[in-house]
Amino acid sequence: MTTIRNVVLVHGGFVDGSGWQGVHGELTRDGFRVHIVQNPTLSLEDDVAVTRRVLDGLDGPAVLVGHSYGGVVISEAGTHPNVTSLVYIAAFAPDNGESVSALIGGSPAPPILPPREGFLFLDRDTFAASFAADLPGQVAAFMADSQVPWGVDAFGGSVTEPAWRHKPSWYLVATEDLMIPPPAQRMMAERAGAKVVEVIGSHAVYVSQPAAVADLIREAAI
């Protein structure tokens, strides 16, 4: 069996790629070449283009991984010829024509605040409880204070042809997630025909449990 050595990690809304540091450490110790996509999260089209530029620069095939809104990005960008498999980490896995907006039923709901000048933010006071309940308080507070504005065009961006229809996928369900309900995660994973693992963790499971996330990525690399 051939093991894929490239892994491309795509973050979601409200955060940047630094949250992947623990997963990066786990995988690089095993000899993987890990690439962190820094999406501006202004629009889906732009984030897909940024991700594809990273994929263009690889020297071989890769596992493409997305957390949260990053799942929308990898669903669209994952048709790239360098992508062999997809890994969704507590992520949206849209079908043709679907967006985050469509999957959650339209308008942003608490703890997402109403749009401000075309951008979305999470309520700072409830960020820890809703997004990162299993992280140390200081870490969750820093994440709340360092939020990246999430563009409403990214929130509403629709997938045209989901890569999971053509490539094998894996899905990590975070059972304590208060941002994407676990039943919705299971539905999307089943629809995508993904191999599923469940981990007791918050929406920030990629930060709180990097070893479990890395284990699933290793599985997808074989």
Active-site annotation holds for 43: no
pLDDT category at 221 given cuts 50, 70, 90 is very high
The mean pLDDT value for 65-72 works out to: 98
pLDDT category at 110 given cuts 50, 70, 90 is confident
pLDDT given at position 26: 98
Considering only the C-alpha atoms of the chain, give the largest distance between any 2 of them, rounded to a whole number of Å: 51
pLDDT exceeds cutoff 90 at 105: no
Task: Give the mean pLDDT of the chain.
Answer: 96
pLDDT given at position 114: 93
pLDDT (tens digit per residue) in 153-187: 999 999 999 999 999 999 999 999 999 999 999 99
The mean pLDDT value for 88-92 works out to: 98
Whether a cis peptide bond, with omega within 30° of 0, leads into 111 is: yes
The catalytically annotated residue of 18, 43, 68, 202 is 68
Separation between Cα atoms, residue 101 and residue 125, nearest integer Å: 23
β-sheet bridge partners, residue 36: 9
pLDDT given at position 152: 97
